[in-house]
A and B are shown apart, each in its own frame.
Chain A
Amino acid sequence: MPAGHGLRSRTRDLFARPFRKKGYIPLSTYLKTYKIGDYVDVKVNGAVHKGMPHKFYHGRTGRVWNVTKRAIGVEVNKQVGNRIIKKRIHVRVEHVQPSRCSEELRLRKVKNEQLKAEAKAKGEVISTKRQPEGPKPGFKVEGATLETVTPIPYDVVNDLKGGY
């Protein structure tokens, strides 16, 4: 019999629960709130059968566009042929985690606001732009003795071991 291409085909390992994490899922999953515009990661929880996304979306990150009673609408990019389509799926909250992709940006924003406020108070002008890593600075080598090395004339007799 041929393999079949059902909805959950080839997901034996993908949807399996990790080792020693089977059974009840921790309640913090249900207590998290999601607002429209948040970034979320889609990660299927095999223990909950309702509201599972298709296996393509496992591991994708998208933005929330809708919030319903028990599920969240996520807008995910999918490449179809030669273009990328924004696909809107609905996923139960058990299969969704808040994404940390914009965490660094948010923290940096807060820090920059603070730096700018401080600079304004002092009256200086600062740039909060990130700079890429530059070349390593120059340094002096300590305790070096100079040894000049010159080539020595080629001496056939000495260099050929054991004669000709």
Chain B
Amino acid sequence: MGRQPIGSPYVKAQKTRAYFKRFQVKFKRRREGKTDYRARTRLINQDKNKYNTPKYRLVARFTNKDVTAQIVHASIRGDIVLAAAYAHELPRYGLEVGLTNYAAAYCVGLLLARRVLKQLEMDTEYEGNVEATGEDYSVEPGETRRPFRCLLDVGLIKTTTGNRVFGVLKGALDGGLDIPHSDKRFAGFSKDSKQLDPEVHRKYIYGGHVAAYMRTLIEDEPEKYQSHFSEYIKRNIDPDNIEGLYKKVHAAIRADPEAKKSEKEPAKEHKR
């Protein structure tokens, strides 16, 4: 039993040496709070009679200012990323503001899907859903190759209806990937009627919810509108042309989904 050094009251130390000797640390990524191993074992586990066939997962993660979508498969030496798409690439396609909203998430999913299909030379065969209608769309098998199949990996978020990860999912589906899903968690699914309202979902895909908020702010609190949507105003994005903006972004993504290597200057040599 350890005691505090002289000077403090007579307190028995809570974490004795014995405690530390018996303490079993959790896995590192669990300690960091980044990986849910229960979900991960189930996502990675491949049938043994499929030997080395990779099992791909669509990893969708959100940070405060960015969206990351990756197609990953696991290996003993570490996970291998087949393709990745980020929201900070969207300015290249014409979208500079609102990079973490539902519509942007849809764009990232779409970009990733087109990128992967182009990489695997399947993009002409699997066009996906060119006009986003918000309805539930599943890829049909093509002539020569089976569609690219992956599983959605949400990470640690709560899978509530209308979550942005499902925006990424919808974007990837419309891009032409085969991902098992149900429309229960898409924005616009109503619990009462147990049906997805494609109109509402379509509104979210094209940023309609953002536009609606902009309209209410313009009417009720114009100063707040100026401060909150200042970047939108700077780029002349009104509530009315938001939908057109996203349509253009979708088209630009489909036209050229390839990743562009960023030019980085060689690291500065520091004199020790």
Question: Could you tell me which A residues sit within 8 Å of B by CB distance?
Answer: 20-24, 26-28, 30-35, 67-72, 93
Contact = CB atoms under 8 A, between A and B. Distances in A.
B54 to A, nearest CB: 11
B74 interface: yes
Q: Chain B interface secondary structure, helix, strand, loop or mixed?
A: loop
Contacts of A71: 48
B47 A35 contact: no
A27 to B, nearest CB: 6
Contacts of A27: 37, 40-41, 44, 74
B44 A33 contact: no
A22 B48 contact: no
Interface of B: 22-24, 26-27, 30, 37-38, 40-41, 44-49, 51-52, 74-76
B104 to A, nearest CB: 32
Contacts of A93: 48
A30 B41 CA distance: 8
A31 B49 contact: no
A125 to B, nearest CB: 40
Given A22-B24, A27-B40, A70 B76 contact: no
Nearest to A71: B48
Contacts of B30: 24
A69 B48 contact: yes
B75 A31 contact: yes
Given A22-B24, A70-B47, A33 B37 contact: no
Contacts of A70: 45, 47-48
A24 B22 CA distance: 17
A24 B37 CA distance: 8
A148 to B, nearest CB: 65
B26 A35 contact: no
A67 B47 CA distance: 9
A77 B51 CA distance: 26
A72 B47 CA distance: 11
A124 to B, nearest CB: 40
A10 B11 CA distance: 44
Given A69-B49, A93-B48, A23 B74 contact: no
